[in-house]
Amino acid sequence: MKMKEGHLVYRRTPIEKESPEEFGYERIKYNLAESSVSDFILGNLDIDLTDLALSYTDHLGNPQLREYIADEQVNPDNVLTTIGAAGALFIITTSLLKPSDHVVILHPNYVANLESPRAIGCQVEYLQLTMEDQFQFSLNKLEQLIQPNTRLISLTYPHNPTGTMITESQLNEIISLIESKGIYLLFDETYREMTPDPLPIVGSLSENAISVSSFSKAYGLPGIRIGWLISQNTNLMENFLAGKELIFICNSIVDEEIAAHFLARKKEFLSKVSLHVKTNQEILTRWMKTSDYMEWVEPSGGVICFPRIKSSVNIDIERFYETLKMKYKTFVAPGHWFEVDKRFMRIGYGYPSKHELESGLQCITDAIKDCVD
């Protein structure tokens, strides 16, 4: 007899199903959908792993690697390496939450921040950012969403997909709020180092705050699948470690070795990257300012922005994305990947070369022209 499926916990989301890697990188000419800097090539990192024994490794993570990540802001034992920031988010939410818990999540957001609490069955409410409010964070609105059973607030800054930031004084107000209410703060700071003046590691500010980050975005090494979480709360850390051990025991020793080598020479590797990002940001800003079709909130962190096709533009939006992808071989991250109107699109300007960005932006303009009445 065929088994009845009953309730299944996970669902694949558009951002994963329609991602560039699932579509096929070789079919894309101008990839403006990535939220990272360009991927590093292994050969350019000068790493020789010939003598590395392919054993299990420290369950918390390679000690040298954790020391680099701690960056003198926390104790290296407050750092737990994970499989990407995605792995950290999964460990944190499944360790902390049960269905009767209320969770407040910044929206729009990276999908795992939304889907993990939903999969657990938590009561989820959203702190909604809107273009009309310049995507600005409001402590007042956050306070109003808190319930007696709120266990976790989940924020992401620099923000994905808008590229907006909060100030250090806003961050301190958030910390005071979670401490006074006895609520945990999950702070996804995956894009932290992609601002000229990064906020402190949020996990260093309070025992209630947990930081999440990774090698994928600011460093351009998503293929090694190394992320981390940071917490000063030893009980929580013991639980997170137990979660990690249940899912994958420890990270790949090869990945962690590459990650530690990279951080030892981080400044050198990233100096060219920041010049590239600056040039591309200027190209993007020029394009936005001269566009008849688009409106935006200028980004202040990360390498992404979230512009929108103006409501006055009469466009067949489905045909636009199809034309952009198939005729112009250009990829952006459409609004529905973030559960908002498709007139929004996330444009990543750190990943493409200068030429690819210029051409890709021109293709967006051309695809709009092809699809307006």
Ligand X SMILES: Cc1ncc(COP(=O)(O)O)c(C=O)c1O
Identify which of residues 198 and 362 has a Cβ nearer to ligand X in the complex: 198
Identify which of residues 57 and 162 has a Cβ nearer to ligand X in the complex: 162
**Listed ranges 145-153, 214-222, 234-242, 353-361: which one lies at the site for ligand X (CB under 6 A):** 214-222
- Per-residue binding string, ligand X, 26-55, x by CB under 6 A, is ---------x--------------------
Q: How far is the CB of 368 from ligand X (least distance, A)?
A: 26
**Can you give the three-state secondary structure of the chain, one letter per residue?**
CCCCCCCCCCCCCHHHHCCHHHHCHHHCCEECCCCCCCCCCHHHHCCCCCCCCCCCCCCCCCHHHHHHHHCCCCCHHHEEEEEHHHHHHHHHHHHHCCCCCEEEEEECCCHHHHHHHHHHCCEEEEEECCHHHCCCCCHHHHHHHCCCCEEEEEEECCCCCCCCCCCHHHHHHHHHHHHHHCCEEEEECCCHHHCCCCCCCHHHCCCCEEEEEECCCCCCCHHHCEEEEECCCHHHHHHHHHHHHHHCCCCCHHHHHHHHHHHHCHHHHHHHHHHHHHHHHHHHHHHHHHCCCEECCCCCCCCEECCEECCCCCECHHHHHHHHHHHCCEECEEHHHHCCCCCEEEEECCCCCHHHHHHHHHHHHHHHHHHEC
Q: How far is the CB of 157 from ligand X (least distance, A)?
A: 9
In Å, what is the CA distance from 370 to each residue of 131, 359, 367? Answer: 26, 16, 5
Calpha distance 25→331 (Å, rounded):
10
Q: How far is the CB of 250 from ligand X (least distance, A)?
A: 17
Identify which of residues 91 and 315 has a Cβ nearer to ligand X in the complex: 91
Residues 109-128 that bind ligand X (CB under 6 A): 110
Q: How far is the CB of 216 from ligand X (least distance, A)?
A: 3
Identify which of residues 31 and 214 has a Cβ nearer to ligand X in the complex: 214
Near ligand X by CB under 6 A: residue from 18, 101, 115, 188: 188
Q: How far is the CB of 188 from ligand X (least distance, A)?
A: 5
Near ligand X by CB under 6 A: residue from 62, 78, 150, 160: 160
Which residue has its beta carbon closest to ligand X? 84
Near ligand X by CB under 6 A: residue from 211, 216, 251, 252: 216
Residue 338 interacting with ligand X (CB under 6 A): no
Calpha distance 120→122 (Å, rounded):
6
Residues 49-88 that bind ligand X (CB under 6 A): 84-86
Identify which of residues 35 and 150 has a Cβ nearer to ligand X in the complex: 35
Identify which of residues 190 and 232 has a Cβ nearer to ligand X in the complex: 190
Size of the site for ligand X (CB under 6 A): 13
Identify which of residues 94 and 214 has a Cβ nearer to ligand X in the complex: 214
Binding residues for ligand X, rule: CB under 6 A, are 35, 84-86, 110, 156, 160, 188, 190, 214, 216, 222, 227
